[in-house]
Structure 1
Amino acid sequence: MKHQSIIHYFSNAVVCILLASAILYLGGCKSSEPFELKTTDRTHLSEPQPSNGHIERISEMSGTIPVDSMLNSLTLDEKIGQLFSVPAYGSFTNEHDPGFLRLKRLIRDYHIGGIIFFRGDVYGQAILHNKLQRTAKLPLWVSQDMEFGAAMRVEGTTRFTPAMGVAATGNPENAYLKGKITAREAKALGVHQIYAPVLDVNNNPDNPVINVRSFSADPDLVALFGMNMIEGIESEGILATAKHFPGHGDTDVDSHLNLPVINHGITRLEEIELVPFRKAVNNGLRSVMSAHIAYPNVSTNGNLPGTLDESILRSLLIDELGFNGLVVTDGLEMQGIAANFSPGEAVVLALKAGADKMLISPDEMTAIHELKRAVQSGTISEERIDRSVRKILSLKAEHGLFENRMVNTDDLSYTIDTPEYRAISERIARESVTLLKNDGNVLPVRDVDYLNVLAVALSDDQSGSTGSGWARELRKYHNNVSFHVLDRRTSEEEIDEMRKDAMKADLIIIGSFIVVRSSQPMQIQPEQLEIINELTAGETPSVLMAFGNPYVVRDVPDADVHLMAWSASRSQIDQTVPALFGASHITGQLPIRIPGMYEIGDGIEMRQSTLRYDTPEAVGMSGDSLLAIDMIMQEAINDSVFPGGVVAVMHKGALVWNNGYGYYDYSKTKEISANEVYDLASLTKVVATTTSIMKLVDEGLIGLDDPVQQYIPEFSEGIKKNVTIRHLLLHTSGLPAFKVYVDELQTRDEIISAVRREPLISDPGEEYEYSDLGFILLGEIVEQVSGRRLDRYVRTEMFYPMGMYSTHFNPSAVGGWMSNRIPPTEIDTVYERGLVQGVVHDERAYYMEGVAGHAGLFSTARDLAVYSYMLLNGGLYAGERYLSDSVINEFTEQRSELSNRGFGFDRKSSGFSTAGSLSGPNTFGHTGFTGTSIWIDPDRETAIILLTNRVHPNRSYGSGIGEVRAKVADTVLGSIVSDKEQSL
């Protein structure tokens, strides 16, 4: 072939020189060396590890080709074809599909140089990419619009919050990471150029096309975040594209539908619109996309669209700003162009104006034909075409496309949408949430304050399913949410149901899913707004959550809460709802102005104060490592340590693991789920009794050195008068470890009376003797001081307001919804209780009506995670203080010279510990005889909860429970990647 014969005239040395010249020609090119951290603040993303899979290297033009020689070898038809990028959809395509055959014909017969992929999926796009590359003589330049991450176009990839949400985080590094991860996935898919970021300054609230696609209404913020995103993209060797020059932010017309006209003069453009572009060009910007907008007071060509206007591209961008990179047109099929210019005319004018790459011509074959005729007639020179083709070929050479143009499909499964990428995207989404109004301190929402919630998903479509994922997420955090959709298909009957639920609601939450769509108004439709106003007209507090167009708050100004969420993606919803309930920090700052309401920089900060449900990677843990828990639990079940159990892991405020294993009993007919309610046994000592004492100490109603005789008259004589609350908590009171009592005494009053009269076996403070009896007395002291029995006191003061709804004494009395979730403990043949299920296993607590200071409490792993988080959060939960930070520290630190215990709490022991070998020295918690444990490492902000019924069917089982606890703990702590968010 003609091209191949040319190749062999040139040595590799010449190739290198010519390629270097080509890169210098483009100007401002970034190095494609592997990414290195530029600052210590930047989150490191290590390179994906290559697989051993075969990488195809298919090219009809073997070797590396000097660009100028290659250009000279091309025919005019081949040169013209290189200027065009045609659309393709990256989903499965049959070989005989007309669309696929048309693409092949354009590539083969019209020498098309580029593909722009639209919607598709990972493997569909990769396979089609390779098919099309095989068809092309010269490698195809592949591009894609990825403003919101690769997931904007490719299903199965990582989705990011829109630009405006990224700016709301206040951290430009988030823009860098967004760009870097997007580029990584683009590269894996064979994409060479990303049409992002948007550098438009969105200073027009009625802009129907830019909106959240822009970083801000502040040109300096747009520049800052835009340049960081560009750097992130280009750090991976992918070409970024700033758009839409010279600015699409101040329009109220969508250029997809018509030609917008901006009447500002050059002075105004210099002050606002051009600021981000100028800074980006000075920072080495390599590609720009033009805007189909007329600027009659800047141009000498009246209302000619900027894409076709030499005054805009040649004079302003290239000459004035000094840009010498690749200029790409916006889609030429858009009505701002196509309605007024023929396909060929648009291309000729765009080339004359200074554009290089023609994107999505409405009729490529006609445009190519007309462009060739224009060259032949002298309307445009071949040399002008050569200038653009040289840029395109230089980029293809720079990206190594003449050596390897194919996608390695073997690597896609570990280079796309990794857990680490998702964790970063979700963190950015979480940090983007912006609270602008919180009248009446509605947030954080607590069940106890708002028992009934009405959630209305407001949409401008007619699917009927909008907001269903939002409703599911709301119900994770609130038990009683009624949900309705208000869209264009909502019937009068459904609206009546909304009205009825609104009458019963204690809180109304409006989720606005009004998106920016130029084909219809951006705000709430008048008929919908009338209904919203009716629902919120009373005294019931209301919340507006804007999942999309942020300016919609202008329609509902009187809502008590305005919360910005920026997009309606599932990831954004999942990361926004927790903020409503105090389960994540709210730190976002508004990057735009909402006229008459809010200014740039507005935002109310609110710290996390409730447990969040999240992934291990979101808090710096390895989900892969945590999978070892599955094997530990399965082996224990196989060895009959217990028939089943639940493991929960809470780290840095997030419940990242909560899984059930095995069965209720050894018949293996009923599986364990994560929400089973277990008999906690001696965990009662800390979760109920110690916590109650802590609260009473906090309130000054009890002192640690108060004599017990002050509350228990039987301690008024002999050495018993020296026993204090401190002694009882530290198990140094002198009371014996255990007394059966119930062989003869089987009423609550009889047992309590016997414990009160029990003689000491040593002087107070002299010996450590772990004693249930001391905690039975502490439970009685709680009742003496508070005037309420222990179960009612701790339920009212702590469990219920904290949302620990499955934490009860005597759970079988609560109702079937709870009693049906309780695995059995022992089959009791001594006291003839038979199968013990739904009632306390401990005999003394059983005969004490199920309520005692040492045993009797039942709970779930989730509720214990809530309890753990409250302790780690300094006693705060859902914005309410339950304990002081000082009393928590006092009770959980070592407080005895005779043992390593704190007040009530056990602590990690030296040598073997069921808290594991990796837990820190400040780890505290407790274990329970039935096979339960909770260990909290405050230095790592981690709680490890294991609930089992290891005493089933009798106490001879479960001898290996200590080793299981330690293995689980070490697996959890070993899965912590670092104390700082990292990836890979």
Structure 2
Amino acid sequence: MKLKLALLFTIFSYTCIFSQNPEIKQPEFLQYQQSKWVDSIMQDLSPRERIAQLFMIPAYSNRDQTHVNSVLELIEKEKIGGLIFMQGDPESQLKLMNTYQLISEVPLIGATDAEWGLGMRLQNTINFPYEMALGAIQGEDLIFEMGQEIARQLKRVGLHMNFAPVVDVNNNPDNPVINYRSFGEDKMNVVRKGIAYMQGMQSENLMTTAKHFPGHGDTDTDSHYDLPQINHKRTRLDSLEIYPFKKLIEAGITGVMIAHLDIPELDSTGMPSTLSKPIVTELLKNELGFQGLIVTDAMNMKGVTKGNDPGIVDKDAILAGNDLIEFTEDVPKAIDEIEKAIKQGLISQKEIDARCRKILAAKQWVGLDHYQPGKLENLDKEINNGQARLILQKLTEASLTVLKNENQLIPIQKLDQVKMASVSIGVDQKSHFQKSLDWYGKVKHFQLPVDASEKLIDSVKAKLKGYNVNIIGLHDFSIRPQNILKISEELKNFITEMSSEDNTIFAIFKNPYVLNDLENIENSNVLIEAYQDSPLTEEMVAQLIFGGVGAKGRLPVSIGDKFKAGYGLDLEGGLRFQYTVPEAAGMDSEILYKGIDSLVKQAIDARAIPGAQILVAKDEKIVFYKSYGFQSYTDTIAVENEDIYDLASITKISSTLPLVMQLYDEGKFDLNASIDDYLPYFKNSNKEGIPFRQILAHQGRLQPWIPYWKTTLRNNGSFKWNTFQKDSSARFPLKISDDLWLHRNYKKKIYSAIKKIPLEKEAKYKYSGLAFYLLPEIVERLTNESPFEEVLYDRIYNKLGATSLTYNPMEKFPISRIVPTENDFFFRHENIHGNVHDEGAIMMGGVSGNAGLFANANDLAKLMQMYVNMGEYGGERFIETSTLEEFTKAPFPDNDNHRGLGFDKPYLEYKGESSNTAKDASMDSFGHTGFTGTMAWADPETNIVYIFLSNRVLPTRDNTRLYQLNTRTNIQQVIYDAIKK
């Protein structure tokens, strides 16, 4: 008896010491255990109902009414304490929680497993990275922010507790259940990340649970199916497995979840840890001093149910010291069994009441003492908000781990000097990774499915020899990134062989442990570990390869003898565009998306345009890139971001002008020189002596345009014989339409017409495109290179990686990617599709400085961003800063001329709806619009690039509704409105 009393005194003293341990920050919710609200609830609960508060049952929002009724029955009859929500969707989840709360006399605590956010359980919600990826991140600030955001999202769908974070140390690569759910093998990294995640959630008054105590990392058995055994000595368990839990307890975590494990060193009876009093009470409560909520792992898992009956096993968990029983399979029986245990003296009602008070205190801390039903309005928008998507992108970027980068192959430089190919392994069609690579340059793509034949592999291998950069993505589209490599030996051999090539970039979208199964992978030139496969990780790795983002991740686990935990290389981003969300550039995504969507819808509904493609970039970040509607009013081909549009007059600032500026840098082009200085056949013409400074500013007295095609007509409406023929020949090689071929020398007649046309009377602003017909030849003469378009591609577009910026797109792209323009009933007498809309440009063979360029918004934006950067992009300088400053300012404002040199600029005074730009566009901004319904604009003051592409001339150029609606400039104003002040 004396021995028993002494032992009890020792245990009591030990508990007191720990409960007063200054190192332990006790959970905040405990302050409410004796609150008025808790007291009032306790008074209203019968002893049996107090037991019921200790139980949580599963609830699904994607099941039928039978399931809902079964939950309602347990709430009404047994007055259970809470629900653990599983699969479903946010709206159904919130509706059900509102219903369940309505009929519950005591507010229910709602919990879920949201280790990586609501996406773990609910459809149409955000999946944040798995903990293995988070373990690669340097620093914890982002993880704290993630914790806050996850807490806000859980609370928004009516939940109050997250069964997270996982703080198991994954020191067993073969672990089938923890693995990618762990922060890694370094216990200190696990502690730092676990505390940050926990503190982020708890800062929003969300209950959290560190799991799976006392440590589930070193197992090769899944406790969902059997009882794993851990055979380590106590010193090892204390120093490793238990260590993170000790530190999170000291940091004030609100809950701890008990694992289903057999740990002989802690309990020699073979009892699962969930049912073990030595583990739950003596170790967790008494030794570690934890006073928060102790939660069981799911009580339907084989690790605890094997050999144990429902109800009885729940009672045993209570006797072991658990406070909250999760996923109880038979609640009434479990309560009955606990009532029996009380009568048998195995546990007292006082102990049950204390645990009930603890649960009620948690309910008060999360705000259930002032419960209000959740609102369904704006639910999706508030869950999938821009800030959450920004956090997700930041986390994904920060996790990317570069393990090899020989010769600094990435980010890829000098796009004009590389010939690139990609291979996606594990897919049978073009992967999102490959589509993302296309954002940056020309890449030839191949795919090798998991069952690729040796013949197919050999075929791809042979084709790759023609490229000097090969990008290989190893994909994994399973729901979870398991440490299993499910590819054929032939594919493994292919990877091994390619690892020896000095021009290969490997991107591994899989669990990092699979690297150990890839022979020679550690010797590859570039090796990137992305930890998991999703559209976002594929996008981010593509951006990393081309310098849109950087990498600072470190391996959270060791990969055999190949790489040790903590290894990784730093890579800087910012070389080229980053593709991200508006919040990354200090913009409001709701304002931006809602504003642009509504204005485009208005234009499409009014049949001002059949569709459009719009891009917004700020701070060299593409924050909006979206296509709308259809290519024409009559077809069903939706506009895609890869589709290319006729740019019309945007050609002026996109083709000849950048080359002219380069030549100005080289001292070969003089703004004070005139046309006749470069084209001698203009001497003695009325254009002689007019300086280009005035011509480019549209006050050189040149006529606006010449209807060249009309001069080829006879009085009877037929074409002159020496101009057009119905069939092609050596003399008539230029195709205008299927039955209209132009004379090879007609370009000279165009030049002659420009030479002869009278001048305007006054040197004042009057828009003219005539000089831009001549500039390509001037460029050829000054560079001693031809043809002009090759000069343009070599000097500008190829270096930018602007692969869709092109003349005569039918020579490079399928017709399906080219958006049609006008139905021409007066010149070509056909639907214009694949050829330039401008009559003068088509009569120049499709290549003119006035019109003729086609592009998608993405590639045009690269050129405009180079302008915003004052001549630099992708690590290359194209044009000197001083030159761009000269060309983008208005040289003749005193003459009431707002134009720059080639560039359009805002009116000198804002004229409301009739202005050419938005009210908030700065006076330093510049760009151009196009007749086909296009606009490209840059604002260096706010570092904004705005591209609007449409085909408003379909079916006829007489369709001016786009102008009447002022859609382009109204959208531009939305962009400025979206900038957070």
The two structures share one fold, judged by TM-score above 0.5: yes
Partners of 1:174 and 1:206 in 2: CA distance:
29
Task: Give TM-score scaled by structure 2 length.
Answer: 0.79
Provide closer, same or farther for how the CA distance between residues 115 and 749 of structure 1 changes in structure 2, counting only shifts above 3 A.
Answer: same
Q: 1:125 to 1:771 in 2, by over 3 A?
A: closer
d(CA) in 2 for partners of 1:834 and 1:126?
Answer: 56
1 CA distance for matches of 2:666 and 2:173? 52
Structure 1 segment 254-403 matched on structure 2, within 5 A: 254-256=222-224, 257-261=226-230, 263=232, 265-266=234-235, 272-273=240-241, 276-293=244-261, 299=266, 305-339=272-306, 347=314, 350-361=317-328, 367-399=334-366, 401=368
- Asked whether the equivalents of residues 426 and 618 of structure 1 are also in contact (C-alpha less than 8 Å), the reply is no
Deviation, structure 1 residue 263: 1.8
**Per-residue CA distance 1:863-894 (angstroms, 9 max, x = gap):** 32333234345656566665566654554345
Q: Distance in 1 between matches of 2:150 and 2:39?
A: 32
1:180 aligned onto 2:148: yes
1:114 aligns with 2:82: yes
Q: Shift of the alpha carbon at 1:296?
A: 5.4
Task: Spell out, residue by residue over 1:594-639, the C-alpha distance to the aligned partner (whole angstroms, 9 max, x if none).
Answer: 4532542623324244456655566524345544445655666788
Post-superposition offset of 1:575: 4.7
**Distance in 1 of aligned mates of 2:396 and 2:529:** 11
The Cα shift of 1:541 comes to 4.7
Residues 168 and 879 of structure 1: CA distance in aligned 2, closer, same or farther (over 3 Å): farther
**CA 1:332–1:165 in structure 2 vs 1: closer, same or farther (change >3 Å)?**
same
Quote how far apart the aligned CAs of 1:550 are: 2.1
Aligned equivalents of 1:680, 1:73: Cα separation in 2: 74
Deviation at 1:246, TM superposition (A): 3.8
Question: What is the match of residue 149 of structure 1?
Answer: 117
- Rounded Cα–Cα distance in structure 2 between residues aligned with 1:819 and 1:329: 57
Q: Distance in 2 between matches of 1:973 and 1:170?
A: 34
* Deviations 1:648-691, CA, capped at 9 Å, x for gaps: 434442161433458758xx668783566444333222100011
Aligned equivalents of 1:391, 1:866: Cα separation in 2: 59
1:53 aligns to what? none
Asked if 1:859 is matched to 2:855, the reply is: yes
Cross-structure match for 2:526: 561
1:610-629 correspondence to structure 2 within 5 Å = 610-611=576-577, 616=582, 619=585, 620-623=587-590, 625-629=592-596
Give the C-alpha shift of residue 925 in structure 1: 0.7
Correspondence for 1:12: none
Structure 1 runs not aligned, ≥5 long? 1-24, 34-63, 459-463, 980-984
Which of 82, 89, 96 does residue 53 from structure 2 map onto? 82
Structure 1 residue 854: deviation in Å? 2.7
Match of 2:794? 796
1:234 maps to 202
**1-structure distance, mates of 2:122, 2:431:** 23
> Equivalences for 1:392-471 in 2 at 5 Å?
392-399=359-366, 401=368, 404=371, 408-409=375-376, 412-439=379-406, 443-444=410-411, 449-450=418-419, 452-457=421-426
Deviation at 1:106, TM superposition (A): 5.0
SS of residue matched to 1:907: coil
Paired residues in the alignment total 902
Instruction: Check if 1:94 corresponds to 2:65.
Output: yes
Task: Report the CA distance between 1:824 and its aligned residue.
Answer: 1.8
Cα distance in structure 2, aligned partners of 1:642 and 1:762? 38
Partners of 1:837 and 1:773 in 2: CA distance: 25
| Alpha-carbon separation, structure 2, partners of 1:390 and 1:762 | 93
Aligned: 1:511 with 2:474: yes
Partner of 1:485: 449
Shift of 1:154: 1.5
2:812 aligned with 1:850: no
Q: Where do 5+ consecutive residues of structure 2 fail to align?
A: 1-23, 713-722, 724-744
Name which of structure 1's ranges 777-786 and 311-320 shifts more when overlaid on structure 2.
Answer: 311-320
Structure 1 SS opposite 2:290 = coil
The answer as to whether partners of 2:820 and 2:951 remain within 8 angstroms in 1 is no
- Structure 1 residues 172 and 887: CA distance shift in structure 2, 3 A: farther
Superposed, 1:688-699 pairs within 5 Å as: 688-697=655-664
- Name the residue aligned to 1:158: 126
Inter-partner Cα distance in structure 1 for 2:599 and 2:615: 14
1: CA distance between counterparts of 2:44 and 2:955? Answer: 85
Deviation at 1:646, TM superposition (A): 4.8
- The CA distance in 1 between the partners of 2:461 and 2:908, in whole Å, is 58
Contact 2:111 2:162 in 1 (8 A): yes
Q: Is the 8 A contact 2:646 2:853 kept in 1?
A: yes
> 2:173 matched to 1:199?
no
Checking the alignment, whether the CA contact within 8 Å between 1:208 and 1:522 is kept in structure 2 is no
Task: Give the letter aligned to residue 906 of structure 1.
Answer: D
**1:508–1:540: 8 Å Cα contact kept in structure 2?**
no
In 2 relative to 1, CA 671–533 (structure 1 residues): closer, same or farther, beyond 3 Å? Answer: closer
Deviates more, 1:893-902 or 1:319-328: 893-902
Name the aligned partner's letter for residue 517 of structure 2: D
Code of the aligned partner of 1:688: S
Q: Which residue number corresponds to residue 739 of structure 2?
A: none
Q: Which residue of the partner structure matches residue 497 of structure 1?
A: 456
Deviations 1:185-232 (A, max 9, x none): 322333221111223344544443333323354444433433333233
Report if the CA contact (8 A) 2:615-2:622 is conserved.
no
Deviation at 1:535, TM superposition (A): 6.8
* Corresponding residue number in structure 2 for 1:910: 908
> CA offset at residue 274 of structure 1?
5.1
Q: What letter is aligned with 1:388?
A: R
1:424–1:618 contact (8 Å) kept in structure 2: no
Mapping of residues 43-82 of structure 1, within 5 Å: 66-68=37-39, 70-71=41-42, 74-82=45-53
Aligned: 1:551 with 2:513 = yes
Deviation at 1:723, TM superposition (A): 6.8
Label 1:762 to 1:228 Cα distance change in 2 as closer, same or farther (>3 A).
farther
The 2-side partners of 1:113 and 1:670 are apart by 54
Contact 1:113–1:141 (CA under 8 A) maintained in structure 2:
yes
Which letter maps to 1:483?
Answer: Q
Contact persistence 1:616–1:623 (CA under 8 A): no
RMSD (CA atoms): 4.6
The TM-score, its normalising length taken from structure 1, stands at: 0.78
Task: Please tell me the residue identity of whatever aligns with 1:395.
Answer: A
Would you say the 8 A contact 1:179–1:230 is kept in 2?
Answer: yes
Following superposition, the deviation at residue 285 of structure 1 comes to 2.0
Contact 1:26 1:286 in 2 (8 A): no
- In 2: Cα distance, 1:718 partner to 1:564 partner: 66
Query: Kindly tell me: are residues 834 and 823 of structure 1, through their superposed partners in 2, closer, same or farther at Cα, counting changes over 3 Å?
Result: closer
3-state SS of paired residue (1:871): helix
- After the TM superposition, which residues 769-780 of structure 1 pair with which residues of structure 2 at under 5 Å, given as runs? 771-780=768-777
For 2:603 and 2:461, the matched residues in 1 are separated by 50
CA 1:288–1:341: 2 relative to 1, 3 Å: same
What is the match of residue 738 of structure 2?
none
8 Å CA contact 1:514–1:523 kept in 2: the answer is: no
Confirm or deny: 8 A CA contact 2:30 2:292 kept in the other structure: no
AA matched with 1:326: L
**Deviation per CA, 1:921-947, whole angstroms, max 9, x where unpaired?**
221112334443311122333222334
Contact map agreement 1:26 1:324 (CA 8 A) in 2: no
1:146 to partner: Cα distance: 0.6
